[in-house]
Every structure is written in C-alpha cells, then in structure tokens.
Chains A and B, each alone.
Chain A
Amino acid sequence: MNFFLEVFTGGLLAGVMYSLVAIGFVLIYKASGVFNFAQGSMVLFAALTFVSLVERGIPFWGAFAITLITMAVLAWLIEVLVLRQLVNRSPITLFMATLGLSYIVEGLAQAVWGAQVHALDIGINDEPYEVFGILLSQFDLFAAGIAGGLVALLGFLFNKTRIGISLRAVADDQLAALAVGIKLQRLWLIVWAVAGFVGLVAGILWGARVGVQFSLSLIVLKALPVLIIGGFTSIEGAIVGGLIVGASEKLAEVFIGPLIGGGIENWFPYVLAMLFLLVRPYGLFGDKAIERV
C-alpha cells in the first residue's frame, strides 16, 4: 500500500508540473479561442533566455525581469506580425499559424542562445523528505507551491481587475466585447505577455528539474491531455487535469506497464483524454459550448 501511495503522490506532484505548462494554453484559449501550439516553444525560449543571462553574471531577479520584457516584446511581435493579420480567420487557420510559430520560436531560441544543455540551479535542494515511509520531493513540493501561487495570482487578475473582466467579456462574445469598446488587440497583447510570464515560470521550474534544453518545448505534449481532461477554458481545470494525468500515468506505468512491455506513460494520458472526450468533450471544468443550429 505504501508503494501505491508513493507512486500516487509522486504522480500528483509531477502532474503539477504539467499544469504549469497547461495554464499558459488556457490563458490564450480563453482570450482568443486559439490553441497556442507555440506555448512549449515559448517555455523553451523563456528558459534559455533566462539561464543564458544568469550565466553571463546577471542576478536572478535581473535576469527574470529582462526575460519578462523579452517575452513581452515577443508577444507584441506575435500580435503585430501574426494575430493582427489573421483577425476573423477560422480557428484552424490560427492554430496552424501557432504551429508555424512554434518552429520559428524554437529555431530562434537555439540560433540566439545555442543548442547546448544548461544547468539551472534555483537553490532548491532535491533531497527527498520521508513521511510515513513515503518519499516526497522537496523540489516538487516547491513547484506545487509556485503553481498554487500562480493560480491565485491569475484568479485575481481574471476576477478582480478591469483587464480580467475585459478578458472574460472577450471570451464570452468577441463581437459584443468589441461593440462595447474593448480593445481586442491590446487584450491579446496582454494575454500573450501573461502567457509568456507563465512560460517563464514553467521554464525555470522545468529547467531546474531537467536542465534547460530543447526538450523543454516537448512538454507541450504533456499539456494536451491535461487540457482535454480539465477543459480548455479553466485554470482550475488545468490544475485538476494535471493532477489526474500525473497520477494516472505513473500508476499505469508502474502497475500496468510491466504486463504489456512498459514505456506506456507517454501514451496512456491520451487514452484517458480520449475517454474523457467521449463522455465529457468540454472537459471537467471547461465551458459547455452551446450553439444554435
């Protein structure tokens, strides 16, 4: 039983790391209805920029601030050069644009900062705690705390500020929002910049965990089932979805994997996501789409 609990707890904590990435997707989807495939590349770009600045002797918070500004500039460029040109196009067009964007951002990140692997030490020791015979990772607990803080911050932004209220209006009905004078392009810029900030936080935590390297952009593949399960429009859903994906993939790998040859944790979350699509296509916390036909 102890082993089961250990795998389950470890999975929950790993799931929090997936949620961190998934939140970035939710933000952009809420504001524009676009599944931003480039979110993984933004995580890579942010982490590479941050670690490269730190390696050049810039203090942590200085590097954080400069990277944040860089992400805002990137968001502005994306808004001006891509999104603005594609206003009123179909969601699939916008999705394809973000797909292309992901390759551009990946290539740009590596062209500017190189392809080598960078170590990133944020001062969190990863010696495990043992609680009732179950090992708990200090680092993962720290990451869970950060994720909680991020959700609270974003919750405040969405529910208590004018920007948040505008965002919710845009998410509900773009045309109606435009009609009452909400500046859509400004909002998009803000949302992409906030998604860049979330990408930076996720990039730093993932980078400290696995090293800052190209494969950070691949964590997007972990976020997709999280979003399907949690719902594309809910930050809380991203957290719950992450927990479900993390715990279930670990349990599946450990207890089902050996029966069918192992190595199943990459595709198991997708099986789960497909099952969710069959019974609850808008996810656990997503907005139910109601269309007049």
Chain B
Amino acid sequence: MKFLGKHRWLLLALGLGIASVTAQVQAANEQYFPLQSYRIGPYAAGGSGFFGGFIDYLQYVNAKEGGVNGVKFTWSECETEYVVEKGVECYERLKKGLNGAPAAATNPLSVGIAYATLERSTADKLPLITINHGRTDSTDGSVFPYAFPLQLNPYSEVSAIVNYIATQSGGLDKLKGKKIVTLYHGSPYGKETSPILELLAKKYGFELTLLEVPHPGNEQQSQWLTIRRIKPDWVILRGWGVMNPVALKTAQKTGFPANHIIGNIWSNSEDDAAPAGSAAKGFISITTHPSGTSFPVLQGINQYVIKAGKGNLQDPKRFGNVYYNLGVVNGILNVEAVRVAQAKFGKRPLTGEEVRWGFENLKLDDKRLTELGALGLVQPLKLSCADHEGGGAVRFQQWDGSKWNVISEWVQADRQLLRPIIEKSSHEYAKEKGITPRDCSKETVAAK
C-alpha cells in the first residue's frame, strides 16, 4: 500500500498511457466520417433526419458485419446550424480524422457549405459528397475530382420535372405555351437551377416566371398573389425547411391547387407536407428514394440498431421518413465506396484520396442493391471519372394527407442535353482556377 501511495502518480500515468495506446490501436482499424451536422436551427428537421439515418446505417454495418472487412466505422459531429462559416470551421476541425482513424469523406448536406469547402476538399484530398444537391458542374469529375453530387444534380432534377410535366401534358411538344412558375428559396441553392430552367423554357417554348422567396420563407403572400395573377399551369417549388409548408398553405389561401405544385428534392419530405395539413393534400414532389420501413436494410437497422436502443433519432416515429431514408441511402453509398476502395487498396482504413477512387468506381446494379437490401430504395448507379452523379433519375410521389405514395416510374433527366452545359461550366471553372482537367480515358484504363 505504501508502494501504491508513493507511486500512485506513476501508476496513473502508466494507466493513462496504456489506455491511450489501446485507443490508438483500436483507431488504427477504424474509418472515420466527419459529420458537419445540423440538429438545431431553421433546417434542423432535415439535418436531424438525414444525419440520423446516416449514423444508424454506419451503426448497422458495424453491428451486423463488424464494419467493412473488419474496419469499423467511427464518426463525430460538429454542429453547423446550416451556417456556412460554422460549416467551414467544422470542416477544418474534423478533416484530420479522429484518434488516428482517417477521414473518408465529408457530407455537409448544405450547398453553401459545399461551395465554401470545395477547394479545401480538393487541396486536402478529401471527397466532398453532396447527395442530390451541390454544384451542378461538379458532375464533371475531370475538373472536380473530389466533388460528388451523387444520384441527382440540380440540373437533372429540373430536367426530370419538366419531362414529367411534358408527360402530363401529352408530350414535350405540348409544353409550348404552357405557363410554369418556379418559386425558389432565396439562396445559392435556390438560384442554382434558374439558368437551366430558362434554357429549357427557350427550348420547349413554355413561359417561365422565376419568383424568389427570401430566407427563411415564412411569409409568401406576395409571391402567391403574383402566381394567382399569372395563372400558371404548374408551379415548381424549390423550397427548403419552413418555406415548403408555408408555400402549400399560402397556395390554398390564394386558391391554387396543390396537385399542380411539384416539389423538388428538398421539398419532398413528410416534414414539408404534414405541417401544411389539408393544404398539402394532392401535392406532388420528386424523390430519389421512397419513404417507408419495409426495405430489408431498414428492417436490419430496426433489428440491430433501433431495437437495441441505439437509434440516433430523438423521435423514433421519424424512422423510415424521407430525410431519414436519404441518410440511409447516403450511408450505403459512402460505405460501398469504402468497400470498393478497399478491394483495390487493401482491407484497412483508407485515406480520403483512396476513398475518392472508390466513389469514382462505384457501381450499384440491381444484384448488388438486392444484396444490400436496398432494391427500390436506391437507384442503380454507375459513377466514373467523367460522371460523378451516376443516376439522374427520379420518381414522383403524391401526398395523400398522411403519407407519400409513389405515382410514377423512374423519370430520367435529359442528360444528353445537360452534359454540354455542365462541361462548358466546368471548363470555365477550370480556366478561372488554372486547373488542367484530367484525361478520363486514361483514368478509366487505370481503373481496369
């Protein structure tokens, strides 16, 4: 006891040292995801659902498979409140990894933060994942090697919506003379698609009116009275957060039918429609993934994570909603990229540069999606050096007053039309920044 008393500080230091080494050894076989999440602030509903689904999928892979090839996933969160400055601060704080576990990719779920960290991600060789959003020209991986607007970039999104309107009208030629209003969020995200909408209006001859709703969008009387005066055939709602239910309520107030409003990818959740009550009934929106809990992967998460009391959602009723499922889809794509990269670089924690290769060579066909239990939840996807989007298809869903029902098959964006526009923009960016675009034909050969 006397020895213990005399040397207790030495023993304590030794104990701490052992604990620290153990942590490092554990971390040596872990892959880290830095999460610039937002669980408070005006867009917390989207952030908490998305990051909840993402984290629960990582937990599920850890619990069911012990990670990928024995490499477990770890993560930590940094609250951004959807504020760009905070997002950049979080990026800088988390990018170096956690306890020796290297960072795989960043997933800020914010156009503003994505824009602000784009060049940093390239310099730091850390993939920047902007699922269903982000800078459209970052689809061109020859100029933007580290940015991945997975599944659906903003141009594809509006192209698919216009194609859907054409289908409802009886063909693309019937768009001529139609009146379409786009009500957009007053932010870089909201304005992203204005040029392509103008181009599509010119090409197909429809009359386009662009109306901005200042952030956050909790007052839209003037915009909807203007819409009432224009008497459009369709309104495309490019909203976010509170702007969506307010749009639906104000539409009702001004007598515009909800079944002629088409919500974009960030106007498509239960949190967007339900608060509008009866005003949302009939509202149509696009989706890259349905809500629901019947998919085997969701059942697995329920079994391994939710029932084990480890679910990330504060309100378990949100399990399987649109935002949550988007988080799960994002988790699947991130984890599969790590898996693909491990197959090339070895079964160990990977650097961001190696994970980038995994994303660029990601291929999810129906067979693989079935194995993952995500058939019907995730669209088939094939990425490449030239194409960092991979999908470009959406389905349409309609709110029945209490839930979304899918009402269409996959509707594809006109990617052939969009590609030259994307390349023009990406090459202008390359010129401005002095970037020499990669030769993707060589990259593909290297991948083989």
A interface vs B, CB < 8 Å? 3, 6-7, 10-11, 14, 106-107, 110, 114-121, 126-128, 135, 137, 139-140, 206, 209-216, 218-219, 222, 249-250, 253-254, 257, 261-267
Shortest beta-carbon distance from B289 to chain A in Å: 19
CA A213 – CA B49 in complex, angstroms?
Answer: 14
Contact of A10 (CB < 8 Å), options: B47, B48, B221: B221
Task: Tell me which of B212, B219, B274 contacts A119 (CB under 8 A).
Answer: B274
Question: Distance (Å) between the CB of B276 and the closest chain A CB?
Answer: 7
Which segment of B129-137, B225-233, B346-354 sits at the interface?
B225-233
Please determine whether B254 and A128 come into contact, CB atoms closer than 8 angstroms.
Answer: yes
Q: How far is the CB of B55 from chain A (nearest CB, A)?
A: 15
Contacts of B274 in A (CB 8 A): 117, 119, 211
Chain B residues whose C-beta falls within 8 Å of the C-beta of A219 in the assembled complex? 218
- By the criterion CB–CB under 8 Å, are B222 and A257 in contact? yes
Stretch in B37-45, B84-92, B423-431 touching the partner: B37-45
Mostly, the B contact residues are helix
Of all A-B residue pairs in the complex, the 10 with the closest CB atoms, nearest first, are: A211-B275, A115-B44, A263-B212, A253-B222, A266-B214, A215-B242, A262-B212, A119-B275, A250-B222, A117-B271
**Bound-complex Cα distance A266 to B277 (A):** 26
Q: Who on chain A is nearest to B214 by CB? A: A266
Please report which residues of chain B, range 294-320, place their CB below 8 angstroms from some CB of chain A when the two chains form the complex.
Answer: 314-315, 318
Q: Does B178 sit at the interface, judged by CB under 8 A? A: no
Q: Which residues of B contact A117 (CB under 8 A)?
A: 45, 242, 245, 271, 274-275
In the complex, A61 Cα to B19 Cα: how many Å?
56
Is A115 a contact partner of B314 (Cβ separation < 8 A)? yes
B254: nearest residue on chain A (CB-CB)?
A135
Q: Which of A10, A209, A214 contacts B40 (CB 8 A)?
A: A214
CB of B225 within 8 A of CB of A116, answer: no
Question: Are B225 and A115 closer than 8 Å at their CB atoms?
Answer: no
From residue B56, how far is it (CB to closest CB) to chain A in Å?
16
Cα A115 to Cα B277 in complex, Å, equals: 19
Beyond known contacts A116-B315, A117-B275: 13 more, CB 8 A cutoff: A6-B228, A11-B221, A14-B219, A116-B44, A126-B279, A135-B228, A135-B254, A210-B218, A213-B241, A214-B242, A218-B42, A218-B216, A254-B222
What CA separation (Å) do A264 and B214 show in the bound complex?
7
A2 and chain B: residue at smallest CB distance:
B229
Judge whether A213 and B42 touch: CB under 8 Å: yes
CB distance from B429 to the nearest CB of A (A): 24
Cα-based distance from A117 to B269 in the complex (angstroms): 11
CB contact list, B206-255 vs A, under 8 A: 210-216, 218-219, 221-223, 225-226, 228-229, 241-242, 245-246, 249, 252-255
Known: A115-B40, A210-B275, A215-B216. A254 touches B226 (CB 8 A): yes
> A215 with B241: in contact, given A135-B228, A135-B254, A139-B253 (CB under 8 Å)?
yes
With the chains together, A211 CA to B318 CA distance in Å? 17
Instruction: Decide: A7 and B253 in contact? CB cutoff 8 A.
Output: no
A151 to chain B, nearest CB (A): 22
A206–B213 Cα gap in the complex (Å)?
18
Judge whether A110 and B216 touch: CB under 8 Å.
Answer: no
* B437 interfacial contact with A, CB 8 Å: no
Chain B 176-222 residues near chain A, CB threshold 8 A: 186, 210-216, 218-219, 221-222
Contact at A126–B249, with CB atoms within 8 Å?
yes
CA distance A262 to B252 in the complex (A): 22
- Note all chain A residues with C-beta closer than 8 A to B222: 7, 10-11, 249-250, 253-254, 257, 265
Quick one: closest B residue to A115, CB to CB?
A: B44
- Specify which chain B residues have a CB less than 8 angstroms from the CB of A128 in the assembled complex: 252-255
Q: Within the complex, what minimum Cβ distance (angstroms) separates A125 from chain B?
A: 8
Select A210's contact among B48, B221, B229, B246, beta carbons within 8 Å.
Answer: B246
The listed residue with most A CB atoms (<10 A of its CB), out of B216, B246, B274, B318, is B216
Report the bound CA distance from A121 to B245 in whole Å: 13
Write out, one digit per residue, whether chain B residues 244-283 have a CB within 8 A of any chain A CB (1) or not (0): 0110010011110000000000000001001111010000
Chain A residues, Cβ within 8 Å of B221: 7, 10-11, 14, 250
Measured CB to CB, the closest approach of chain B to A43, in angstroms, equals 12
The answer for the CA separation of A199 and B411 in the assembled complex, in Å, is 46
Determine the chain B residues whose CB is within 8 A of the CB of A263 once the complex forms: 186, 212-214
Contacts of A253 in B (CB 8 A): 222-223
Can you list 7 A-B contacts (CB < 8 A)? A110-B44, A114-B315, A117-B271, A117-B275, A118-B275, A139-B253, A264-B214
Binary per-residue interface labels of chain B (169-180) against chain A in the complex, 1 for a CB within 8 Å, 0 otherwise: 000000000000
Nearest CB of A to B234, in Å? 19
- Beta-carbon contact of A209 and B226 below 8 Å: no
The residues of B that contact A211 with a CB separation of less than 8 Å are 242, 245-246, 274-276
**A residues less than 8 Å from B271 (CB atoms):** 116-117
User: In the complex, A5 Cα to B210 Cα: how many Å?
Assistant: 23
Please judge, given known A-B contacts A114-B314, A128-B254, A135-B255, whether A213 and B225 are in contact too, CB under 8 Å.
Answer: no
CA distance A254 to B225 in the complex (A): 8
B225 touches A215 (CB 8 A): no
Q: Within the assembled complex, what's the spacing in Å between the Cα atoms of A266 and B222? A: 12
Q: Which of B4-60 contact A (CB under 8 A)?
A: 39-42, 44-45, 47-49
Residues of B within 8 A of A140 (CB): 253
Closest B residue to A207 using CB positions: B275
Rounded to whole Å, the gap between the CB of B77 and the closest CB of chain A is: 13
Closest to A3 in B: B229
In the bound assembly, the distance between CA atoms of A107 and B40 in angstroms comes to 8
The residues of A that contact B275 with a CB separation of less than 8 Å are: 117-120, 210-213
Residues of B close to A120: CB separation below 8 A: 275
A222 to B40, CA, bound (A): 21
Pick the most buried of A6, A10, A115, A266: most chain B CB atoms within 10 A of its CB.
Answer: A115
CB-CB < 8 A to A266: which residues of B? 186, 214-215
Question: Please, which residues of chain B bring their CB within 8 A of the CB of A7?
Answer: 221-222, 225
> Which of B39, B215, B222, B254 has the largest count of A CB atoms less than 10 A from its CB?
B222
- Give CA–CA (A159, B371) in the complex, Å: 74
B contact residues around A254 at 8 Å (CB)? 222, 225-226
Partner of B41, one of A214, A265, A267: A214
In the complex formed, the residue of B with least CB distance to A130 is B255
Q: Which of B56-80 contact A (CB under 8 A)?
A: none
